[in-house]
Amino acid sequence: MRKLVLILGPAGAGKTTMAKALASKHGGAFLDMDTLLRPAAEAIMTLAGQDPSDRDSPFYKTHCRDLGYRITMDAALENIGLGLDAYVVGPFTKEIAEAKWVETELSRIGATVHDVELKVIYVYLSEEQVYRQRIQERGLPIDHWKLNNWDDFRHSLIRREIKWHLDASSILYWDNSEMLSSEKLQMLERFVYGERL
């Protein structure tokens, strides 16, 4: 059965590293919202006279955020429609609070949670300081606003509950504070692939 793997959580939690490790070993489409939205976001922000590397300000959230999710999910659904597994990476902060979001998305390709296997990994860190350290260490231009406005940004780091109508066995909350060892990767693989390993 085709598989949709959603890897969610705050900035700096290690979502992309985890998704790449799984996708590179098992194949399928790898779709990172930051990567897919970047050209459009930079163009929109530049045309509006805003910082093209901004990914956190109210202006960005109003004019670019939802576009990023639409681009990313359209690409994921297209791959799922072809019978391919898809790994999708993004915060999904607003979406996880909408109970029927998953069903609505799958309905775009005439699918349901009964014919697409959903696996959701919510990646988080146990301490705020670890987020800040990792965000500083990766040194990305898109993180300047976060670091310069930490008191505002830090509220986005709270661990959120996923409200989607999925069986509990389809959702994993993963504390990624320690390095992703081969043993930890195997645990994630067992969650995603089960007996297929």
Strand, coil or helix: 123 = strand
> Is residue 196 scored above 80 in pLDDT?
no
pLDDT in tens, 53-87: 888 888 999 999 999 999 999 999 999 999 999 99
pLDDT in tens, 40-61: 999 999 999 999 988 888 899 9
The pair of three-digit structure tokens given for residue 44, joined into one six-digit string: 């929109």
Sign of CA dihedral 153, 158, 164, 170: positive
Q: Full-prediction pTM beyond 0.85?
A: yes
Smallest CA-to-CA distance from 131 within 150, 111, 103 is with: 150
Mean pLDDT of 192-197: 74
> Is residue 110 scored above 60 in pLDDT?
yes
> What is the spatial distance between Cα 46 and Cα 120, in angstroms, rounded to a whole number?
34
Smallest CA-to-CA distance from 34 within 1, 65, 74, 13 is with: 65
User: Helices 182-193 and 15-26 sit at what angle, rounded to 10 degrees?
Assistant: 70
Strand, coil or helix: 5 = strand
Residues 6+ apart with CB under 8 A from 128: 154, 157
